[in-house]
């Protein structure tokens, strides 16, 4: 068995909830911040509470907007490839004299 593949463990890692509750548990990180724990979760407390964190919906919408990708047709892809080849050929020297001049610079 390899000796160096296991992560370092912290048997006294401190977990802090957004409600202020703290407790200790064995983890692979020294500290951990959570939004909801058993002291404040609506399922365990029996009280209805808005648990959603502000901005979660906005970040989801931003990710979805970033994921929208413009789909090109085959004709558009061919046209873009041809234009790219033409643009790369424009920078090339057209004669041997031009090539020699460019090397001297």
Rounded distance, CA 69 to CA 74, Å?
Answer: 15
* Model confidence pTM above 0.75: no
pLDDT at 50: 65
Alpha-carbon dihedral angle through residues 11, 17, 21, 27, given to the nearest 10 degrees: -10
Alpha-carbon separation of residue 58 from 49, 53, 61, 62 (angstroms):
20, 11, 5, 6
Give the mean model confidence (pLDDT) for residues 91-97.
83
Residue in the structure block whose two tokens are 């085959």: 74
pLDDT at 25: 93
Which tens digits make up the pLDDT trace of 20-75?
Answer: 899 999 999 999 999 888 888 877 777 776 666 667 778 888 888 877 777 778 99
Rounded distance, CA 97 to CA 77, Å?
Answer: 35
């Amino acid at each position: 068995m390899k000796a160096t593949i296991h992560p370092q463990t912290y048997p006294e890692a401190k977990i802090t909830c957004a409600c202020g509750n703290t407790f200790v548990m064995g983890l692979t990180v020294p500290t951990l911040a959570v939004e909801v724990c058993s002291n404040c979760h609506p399922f365990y407390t029996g009280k209805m509470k808005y648990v959603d964190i502000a901005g979660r919906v906005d970040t989801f919408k931003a990710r979805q907007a970033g994921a929208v990708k413009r789909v090109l047709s085959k004709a558009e892809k061919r046209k873009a490839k041809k234009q790219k080849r033409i643009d790369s050929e424009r920078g090339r020297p057209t004669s041997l004299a031009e090539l020699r001049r460019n090397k001297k610079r």
